[in-house]
Structure 1
Amino acid sequence: MKKRYVLCDSSSLISLSDSCLDSLLYFFRDNFGVKFIIPKSVEYESVTRPLTMRTKVYCFSAIRIQDMINDGVIEVIEADTEAETRKLMEAGNGIFYAHGKPLRILHIGETEMIALARKLEVNSLLMDERTTRVLLENPVSLAKHFQDEFHTNVMVNRQKLSEFSEHAGRMDIIRTTELVYIGAQQGFFHPFGKLEAQATEAALYKLKYSGCAVSFNELKEYEGLMQ
């Protein structure tokens, strides 16, 4: 079976593990040969840091993710992406300006993941974090979003936007809700029998409350597609 690679960010892994849906990654590995990979920074954000924090809120989620790493469902990739990550962060954090100051919208985890995707020539990203996802899919729409959020005019530096788009390239962004929907279509929820449809719907709503940036209207659309 040919391997298909999907790069994951910490937000998607946390959403899945917090929703007790980590078995979905096993399902795609075992049935479709999907290999989920992460950079070291995502391992730190989703596993190492939560396990060393005083608060135990995210500890169980981190343990579940570590278990997937131990089982080979998720592979941690070490690669020299420092220079490309720096270029992406410099460009991305210089695109939008409010009150004459740049809006810092990119963080190391998501940025390193994009750089790693380019280096490995992997175009599929599993990502729930809204800002980075929209920056990759439809960056201009973020200006209006920020204007509504901050109630001020937001300027777009077209040169920085062009630089970021050139470095990032084209990416196929997958949200965890979309992964659940695809899994449902492929039989992931069949073991629930007569409760299959309800289990799918419940899983989608649980993901929303676990951090996936999905609206109630989008959830209703999923429900319509599954009928």
Structure 2
Amino acid sequence: MKSLCFDSGPIISLAMGRLLWILKPLKEHFGGKFYITPSVRRELVERPLKIKRFQFEALEVIKLLKEGVIEVYDTIPQNIANKLDHMANKTYTRDGRPLKIIHSGEIETVACAMALKNHGIVMDERTTRLLIEKPTQLKKLLGRRLHTSVQPIPQNIKEFTTFVGKIKIIRSIELVAAAYKLGILNDYIPALRNGKSTLLDAVLWGTKYNGCAVTENEILEIKKTLLTS
């Protein structure tokens, strides 16, 4: 059965935008499994339950787990996760030292997809996505974030990308776009002259501001495509 492995970021983005409910109808249309890993569950449930500001979002995730919309993939192959950790965090250096750029939740999510024969990943975090899809573009991003010079290790990058292979990565913004295209959001179209445009602005920009790494140009292109399709 086909499946998608979720990192914590997209679920947080949807929860903060009050759009977490779209996962249930999206899963029904997808006809497969939605998985999170144990590390991602800790990020989404155990930690926020201790912080009053984020407790309700954690309860929303618990509800989805109870309903079976999301399932925890417990059998993460530790040998794959360890190798990913070792390889990914030796692809760039700062001041001659390896730079840790990927953390446990992202590592487990990639390992989950690999264990499931390279089924897709849902991930908003730009660093991991670039390392998998466009590793040569990561140097500029890391340098800008860290305000210092970083150096790639081409051989290590090649070994990592070869090991991971081709994994399809989508973001929460694509989930929201799919929900709109499938009519899942139709009840929210206001009775205005540009009602569809207003709804798309609300959900697309809201998803960006709630944590999804997406550019303004990408949002405009997604909106244009949805309005003309």
Same fold (TM over 0.5): yes
Q: Secondary structure at the match of 1:213?
A: coil
- Deviation string for 1:91-148 (max 9, x for gaps)? 1111111211111101001101111111111421111111111111101100122233
Local SS of the residue matching 1:67: helix
Provide the residue aligned with 2:218 in structure 1.
218
Q: Cα distance 1:95–1:224, how it changes in 2: closer, same or farther (>3 A)?
A: same
| Contact preservation (8 Å) 2:76, 2:108 | no
SS class of match (1:28): helix
For 1:180, the aligned partner's letter is V
Q: What's the counterpart of residue 14 of structure 1?
A: 12
1:23 pairs with 2:21: yes
Aligned to 2:179: 183
Out of 164, 168, 172, the position equivalent to 2:168 is 172
Q: Show the 5 A alignment for 1:1-227.
A: 3-51=1-49, 53=50, 55-193=51-189, 194=191, 195-227=195-227
After superposition, what is the alpha-carbon deviation per residue over 1:159-184, rounded to whole angstroms, capped at 9, x for unaligned? 22122112222111101111111221
- Whether contact under 8 Å (1:189, 1:196) holds in the other structure is no
- Structure 2: gaps of 5 or more residues: none
Once residues 144 and 212 of structure 2 are traced to their aligned partners in structure 1, the CA distance between those partners, rounded to angstroms, is: 21
Percent identity at matched positions?
35
Q: Contact 2:37 / 2:76 at 8 angstroms: preserved in 1?
A: no
Structure 1, unaligned stretches of length 5 or more?
none
Larger CA deviation: 161-170 vs 145-154: 145-154
Q: How many residues align?
A: 223
User: Structure 2-normalised TM-score?
Assistant: 0.90
Give 3-state SS (helix, strand or coil) of 1:58's partner: helix
Shift of 1:69: 0.6
Contact 2:2 2:119 in 1 (8 A): no
State the secondary structure of the residue aligned to 1:57.
helix
TM-score of the aligned structures, taking structure 1 as reference length: 0.91
1:47-93: per-residue Cα shift (whole Å, max 9, x none)? 11211x2x322221111111111110001111142221111111111
Distance 2:138 2:161 in 1: 14
User: RMSD of aligned C-alpha atoms?
Assistant: 1.7
Moved over 6 A (4+): none
